[in-house]
Amino acid sequence: MSPEVVTLSDSMLFSALAIALILGCSWLLDSRRGVDRIIFGSILVVMLSNYLYFRLTKTLPDFEWSAYAVWPRIYLSFELVVILYTVLSIVFFFRRTDHHGAADASEALLARLARQPAVDVFICTYNEELSILERTILAAKAIDYSNFTVWVLDDGRRDWLRDYCAEVDVRYLRREDNAGAKGGNINNAIRQTAKETNAPFILILDADFAPQRAILNRTVGQFINTDVGLIQTPQFYYNADPVQHNLLASKAWVDDQRIFFDVMQPSKDGWGAAFCVGTSCVVRRDALAMIGGMPQETVTEDIHLTYRLLQKGLKTRWLNERLSVGLSAESLSGYITQRCRWCLGTIQVALLRDGPFFGKGFSFVQRMHYFHGLLFWFCRPFILLLMAAPLLYYFLGLPAIRMEPEAFFLYALPMVAGMWAFHAWVSGGRSLPLFTEVSQMVSAVPITIALFHALLHPFGRPFKVTAKGEDRGRVEVIYPIAGTFLCVIVLTFVGMLNGPLLGTYNDLDGFSVAWGMVVMVYAFVSLLVCIELPREALDDIEFPLERQGHVASRGKSVPCTFDTISIHKARMTIQDEVAFADMRLGDLLIFTPFADFDVAGQVTAMDRGRSGVSVSIVGIRDRRDAWEIKKTPEEVRQKMVQRIFSEMPEVMPRRAYPLAAGRGLWKRMFARPSVLVGKLEQHTVTARTQQRSRKLYRPPFISRRTPLLQISSRNVAPPLAE
């Protein structure tokens, strides 16, 4: 317990000074400088050490074989796991790499070559719908590189996909079984392509990750460094993950992997321990040959690949640039399935004889980085103990921590405030209290179950593909997890009434009430995440452009702002009031939302209040494609998909906006889901059948009698400045 000489006012003053120091560090230090990260990180390590010493020496009862003595030690054991993970994270943050210069040099080197090195682009697919696959396939075809071949690796053996690949002129591969899951699929492709192209480099893409045009120019030239076996780029998404979406924070908070990709991986790269994440990476074919191909022994072949390469002296380089965009898990069940697979795979790799713990050829730092990644999953049970601790105190009188208010202000509060402030600072504002923790809480129960199953039976489990393209047109409730959080809320409230609020056990009541209230808040927000809001159809997603340009209307060039664009329509704000007044529904407008890409659209709606115009896209001309006009629905759709997804504007936030996130959460708490999302029509994304013909979406306001659009160089709006 706290020393008797320390009063509550003294401890509160000390806590205020410590928090002021933390805020001063956040304000005065620059997270981009290594020295500043060391200074701030060292201060936090001291705070954590001080708290840990207090916990070990002052908060535990004398040991005896009783629940009163054993329970606090169980809780402390898992708390130590979290503290160790945090300390290692802080130390690893001391280093950080930036390979933008190497990427620039790669572009310059490749531009000087008479013939660029050949690249095989592998698109791995199993059961994804064409609405998802076409984005990756068409974007891959648009890569700005002169010597590459696109291969679709179909582990689902679908004839309609084979026909589609022939239609869009990409190569198609299938095999007779699914042995080795994704790793086996890639190994089959390595063998088959070696007979034809045998390209020295391979770009690996998941079915739902569309490469950006520069991905090969920014990476291939970096392999001039012979120590590099693989170059990994981060995953970016064009849709909100379930936590963002269900808390109305898709424009106010980052996806839960952003800190890992933008902060943790550059730091791991600084220590030579960045690892492959399975998609949007370029690997040397000879490096794969050195290790016997893509690993197949685990469900996370990506991280296993990195450690196999490390044994051969080849490292994974992390290029922190946005060179692909993908589809995040659309449902909470898919989100959880994905993370449970990662948890299982991390344990599987750790247990292998050639893995980072038992294998040869790894440095101490490389082993510690893998240990750090393993600790991430072992932190999940601590979340469950955090929720259970107040209940055990209320109903059984078993405190997890014996802490008086004076001790809380002296040791615990400065440490918690320091962790929040440091994570927000070192992540460049990507971390946000409450939202960050909730993203971990919603999956804590299933991951904890998966964790213990993996420890008991780590191998022999099937590879589970994350569901994408699901029907998300209605409100759905994940009842098992939602019920868990509801029980926590009810029991915590009843426990408070039963004990601290209407009775008295001992002096720990005030601390237990505060703990219980925090648990109820987190459980309530997590419960909201489990009530899933509908999503719009994938084809209806509108991407923000916010670009200045011109639109050709009635023979005149009119300045405008391109607000949003989707596969089928665009929205813009006309900046000339006279020209806007002359526009009518049904008018044909010609504009250039992307460089060298002219679009013709028919006006379908007008907003007189803000001079806004909505158009349905009915024709396009890609000046990079021989200036050929595309007017049929199939051609227009394919070109729009290709251009949008190969040059995707950045649609998701790169940092957190606390006020906006708070407003969204407040609205989510007090409004019905149907009110929040409007009346969305239910939609079903269906796979293309074996027939070659395909029914395309045709906006109802475009009549078959509409004359074919004629686009000439005289009436095209000037292209946007890039």
- Give the catalytic positions in this structure: 155, 302
Kindly list the distances between the CA atom of residue 270 and the CA atoms of 229, 305, 322, 328, 626, in Å, as whole numbers in the listed order.
16, 19, 19, 27, 45
| E strand segments, 495-587 | 531-532, 543-553, 556-565, 569-574
Between the two ends of the chain, the Cα-to-Cα distance in Å is 63
DSSP single-letter state for residue 540: G
Can you list the alpha helix ranges (DSSP code H) found in 119-216? 130-141, 159-168, 181-194
CB 199 within 8 A of CB 120: yes
Count CB neighbours of 719 within 10 A.
17
CB 326 within 8 A of CB 279: yes
Integer Cα distance of 56 and 76 in angstroms: 8
Closest CA to 627 of 598, 590, 650: 598
Tokens (6 digits) for 643: 């251009």
Integer Cα distance of 211 and 325 in angstroms: 7
Count CB neighbours of 547 within 10 A.
18
- What's the distance, CA 301 to chain centroid? 19
Q: Which residues pair with 122 in a beta bridge?
A: 151, 204
Three-class secondary structure assignment of 17-56: HHHHHHHHHHHHCCCCCHHHHHHHHHHHHHHHHHHHHHHH
Burial letters for 147-185: b for 16+ Cβ neighbours within 10 Å, e otherwise? bbbbbbbbbeebeebbebbeeeebbbbbbeeeebbbbbb
Tokens (6 digits) for 19: 């928090």
